[in-house]
Structure 1
Amino acid sequence: MNGGTFTPGVEKARAGIYFNFKSTALQRVGIGDRGTVALPVQTSWGEAKKFVSISSVEDLNRKVGINIDDPSLLLYREAAKKAKTVLLYRLTEGEKAAATIGDMSVLARHGGSMGNSISIRIQPNVLDTDKRDVLTFVGTDEVDRQTVGTIEELQPNRFVEFNGSGILETTQGTFLLGGANGTPSNADYTAFLEAAETEYFDTIALPVQGNEQLKATFTSFVKRIRDRQGIKVQGVLANYPGDFEGIINVTDGVILEDGTEITPELATAWVAGASAAATFRQSLTFMEYQGAVDVLERRDEEEVIQRLGKGEFLFSFDPRDKTVSVERDINSLTSFTSEKNQLFRKNKIIRVLDGINNDITSEIKLLIKTRKEAGNDIPANDDGIQFIRTLCSVYFTTLEENDGITNFDPETDLDISLNQDRDGFLINAGVQPVDAAEKFYFNVEVR
């Protein structure tokens, strides 16, 4: 079903559900499930140009085949600290490792440096001396064992393919060589964005340094799917003043317990994961960055205030308990208007607005489906208005009961009428959001 934003007085050509959010009619939500982040990575193994949904270490081992401690999974580890699900997208295939053992050639199933840790051992079978045991190892772990008489009988496994003919030559262990990860190009990242259009996620990260052209393309992508397609996601990148509520601009980095430096572009993974997992009742302000012991650059109060004014997402170090936390959960919006005021710079507010888009769209689609199964449509008349009024009233009341909004009155805060073409509805809703407490002022009197 089509969606996106609309301009009052201009009718859409395609059927769909369209939203127009304004400061005077903030529509908040967050009842739907969240927690999925789309993340481009350059790993040492795995199928390239394809999204893989990872929700656990078991998923990672089974679907990708890389150990969680692999250095190439740094971005995944940071995103997974908060995200429920990480949609991993391997950007490039890289070079495949290979080896030759007698008349047999062995080729890694995927490109990448992990292929260089694969070895093949061929030894006589203890029960049948005419046959050979062919063992495949990744590091010191045996991952496959086959007992065959000739090369032709070997079957490919998860890690290698065998080719050749004739008798197998024994070896105590031959390593594959030549595996390399490759370097992603702009075209690889563009392919990532194109593939992301058919996936469902809450946030999407672009963990690259520099490359203003690619960042501009990424920002345009997020704007397009938010405003034209009605898919409400937020993009996270580093050192780019997007001036848009759908873009979070990370300009700070952290230092992990083991000394690893998480630069701003690497920190986009954690920010995207934490933002994806945050509910409509939760701001990331004051949230601790797990495993971080310091920031890359400590700033004085004046600089912090200046950077916040520029829409930068910052981390703060507290020397009292040696923790690192989010300074303020804001996006890159800095150009405020009567339709998008300063509330729109707060990601908690945006998560609620985005949730309304997603949840009410789902509710209306369900209503349409239910009525069609019963042989009816939603009528474009007073009865249809009542259907939509009831749906919205129940939804916003539920949102209020869950501390998303307050003071909601369906009689005065909902105005529903037929559109100009009399084939749909114009819904005006006024709600008062419940913000997160971020400032605490104390008057302490000495007695």
Structure 2
Amino acid sequence: MAGGIWTAQNKRRPGAYINTKGAPQAQPDTTLGRTLLIGSADLGWGPNGVVEVDNTTDFRSVLGTTLDDTRLIPLRETLKGALTVLYLNQNDGEKAKVEDAKLPWNFTAKYAGTVGNTLTVTVEKDPNDETLVTVKTLLGTTMVDEQIIRTTTASGLESNDYVNVTFTGDSTEPVGEVTVSDGGADFSAEAGKAKLDALAASTSYTLTGGTTKASDVTENLNDVLATENYNVVTTAGFAADNNIHSLVVAAVKRLRDEEGYKVRAVVPMMEGASKYDHEAISVVNNGVELVDGSILTATQAAGWFAGASSAADAGTSLTYTVYPDAINAAPKRTNEQTVNALNAGQIVFTTLRNGSVTVEQDINSLVSITDDKPNAFQKNRVIRTLDTIATNTMETFQSQFLGKINNDSTGRSLFKANRVSYLKDLSDSTVIQPVDATDLSVEPGEDRDSIFVTLGVTPIDAMEKLYMTIFVN
């Protein structure tokens, strides 16, 4: 009797040939909770480009400061709602460095920028054992790295999150027998010892020459918007009259309409500006006061709404969601002002009687209602649902059908069955009303390699209004 696995059904001997494979699993939405934040501050440190951060990130090492820094308020607020923030950091220029002939190392700041000039490296000998040396890296007055080495193993000093270390030995050029290895040049065991022996008990060296070069955030904006993996982008932190808001809005519209990339944007309101009037653009009307007494403007508070929007799935509405740590809307809007703002398609923060601050209504800036865009399109939950269906359908077609399945009645039936199953999962999760097979058609397209799909769905919205009549007997 024969057996084993099979690749093709071409076995000669009788037997059981069995393959075991994992069944294809539904792919998770990898963009959920990911917000792209266009950095509005010149930090003078960090990678030049997108920096991926979350609440566990060491912000001092990657951005040169902490979340308590007022320049990072938009980032701090965005992280209150988002799972991950892609922070577009504009930091070009020269790196600070130290090249001192008394040392067996050169030190170069890990990133360009003026923050590098606040880095200091200290070399301290152990008073009880002069062969032991402690090398510390300080950012300002804060120690950010400490390593203990022996004078005979100076080449073992490692780079850290703030400085890159280049071992130079007892001269500015490598000494001893040099060979090629994974780590570069190898030095003799005694290399560097003479310099360290000659040092005083404690010496310090401040890095210099770091510069921050002014750069235009719009130069690489379109590339970042088109290539990064996120679902909401925000310009939180930029002044309301900054042109970057309209640039991002235009890019988002283009990405949705021309590339099928269903991303959304959150921007602050500017008085007197033309309306964006689009279902993928949310406009924040006002700010909030936090428990510590600080007042956040609309452009800063837009960060939180963007983060919360990115983390909300298709079955979630942010209407009446509480703004974390907020005690008042700033400024508070009257009933008339609130109604006017909602009619203009704006996000309004409202102070409730219990002292919490909530999102009045989870809407977008669409105000022009048409047959193609009915009033349901004004709700962000509905747009998230439609975007989810569109994105999943596109990804499923590309990964499982495009170029793999025949465009005949059997192939089209397979695609329809796939979509019916997916839509049933959405209805079971109360994202949409149940879909009947007759609501979905998959027909031949105009070309022999195309299919034409029509689908009717009814997204489920959240309760928002209560009308009640009480009869007294």
Same fold (TM over 0.5): yes
Q: What is the CA deviation profile of residues 322-352 of structure 1, one whole-angstrom value per residue up to 9, with x for unaligned ones?
A: 1111011111111221111111111111101
Gaps of 5+ in 2: 1-26, 173-194
CA distance in structure 2 between the partners assigned to 1:125 and 1:407 by the alignment = 74
Q: Which runs of 5+ in 1 are unaligned?
A: 1-29
TM-score by length of 1: 0.81
Q: Does 1:201 align with 2:230?
A: yes
Distance 1:229 1:176 in 2: 46
- What is aligned with 2:192? none
Deviation at 1:427, TM superposition (A): 0.7
User: Separation in 2 of the partners of 1:279 and 1:74?
Assistant: 25
* Per-residue deviation, residues 67-117 of structure 1 (Å, max 9, x unmatched): 444444322221111211111221224675667878667553224565465
Looking at both structures, which has the greater relative contact order when contacts are Cα pairs under 8 Å and sequence separation is at least 6? 1
Q: Does 1:310 align with 2:336?
A: no
Task: Measure how far apart 1:436 and its partner are.
Answer: 1.1
- 2:401 aligned residue (368, 380, 388): 368
> Distance in 1 between the 2:101 and 2:472 partners?
88
What pairs with 1:266-285 in structure 2 (closer than 5 Å)? 266-285=300-319
Indicate the SS of the match to 2:81: coil
Equivalent-residue separation in structure 1 for 2:311 and 2:396 (angstroms): 22
With over 3 angstroms needed to count, the CA separation of the structure-2 counterparts of 1:103 and 1:279, relative to structure 1, is same
Alignment-derived partner of residue 135 in structure 2: 134
1:427 matched to which residue of 2?
453
> Radius of gyration: which is bigger?
2
What is the aligned partner in structure 2 of residue 20 from structure 1? none
Does residue 358 in structure 1 map to residue 379 in structure 2?
A: no
CA distance in 1, matches of 2:28, 2:467: 31
The question of whether the paired residues in 2 share the 8 Å contact of 1:205 and 1:269 is answered with: yes
Distance 1:334 1:94, change over 3 A: farther
- TM-score, normalised via structure 2 length: 0.76
**Equivalent residue for 2:409?**
382
Match of 1:223 in 2: 253
In 2, Cα distance between the equivalents of 1:380 and 1:75?
Answer: 49
Q: Which of 376, 382, 386 in structure 2 is aligned with 1:343?
A: 376
**Contact 1:310 1:334 (C-alpha < 8 Å) held by counterparts:** yes
- Contact kept in structure 2, 1:313 and 1:327, CA below 8 Å: yes
CA-based RMSD of the aligned residues comes to 3.2
Over residues 374-417 of structure 1, what are the superposed CA-to-partner deviations in whole Å (9 max), with x where a residue is unaligned? Answer: xxx31112112201110111111111111111142112x11221
1:268-326: CA deviation from partner (whole Å, max 9, x where unpaired): 211110000011111111000001111211111111111111111111112x2111110
Q: Does structure 2 conserve the Cα–Cα contact (< 8 Å) formed by 1:144 and 1:157?
A: no
Distance 1:384 1:225, change over 3 A: same
Q: 1:178 to 1:269 in 2, by over 3 A?
A: farther
Separation (CA, whole Å) in 2 of partners of 1:267 and 1:355 = 26
SS at match of 1:197: helix
The answer to whether the 8 Å contact 1:91/1:192 transfers is no
User: Are the structure 2 counterparts of residues 409 and 116 from structure 1 closer, same or farther at C-alpha, using a change threshold of 3 Å?
Assistant: same
1:219 shift after superposition: 1.2
Q: Quick one: distance in 2 between partners of 1:175 and 1:116?
A: 7
What are the residue-to-residue correspondences of 1:94-133 with 2, within 5 Å? 107-112=108-113, 114-115=115-116, 117-126=118-127, 129=130, 132-133=133-134
Preserved CA contact (<8 Å) 1:40 1:91? no
2:145 matched to which residue of 1?
A: 143
Q: Identity rate of aligned residues, in percent? A: 29
Q: In the aligned structure 1, how far is the partner of 2:60 from the partner of 2:74?
A: 16
How many aligned residue pairs are there? 408
Q: Which residue of 1 aligns with 2:162?
A: 159
Q: Which amino acid aligns with 2:73?
A: L
Whole-Å Cα distance in 2 between the matches of residues 294 and 383 of structure 1? 60
Q: Does structure 1 conserve the Cα–Cα contact (< 8 Å) formed by 2:322 and 2:356?
A: yes
**In 2 relative to 1, CA 444–98 (structure 1 residues): closer, same or farther, beyond 3 Å?**
farther
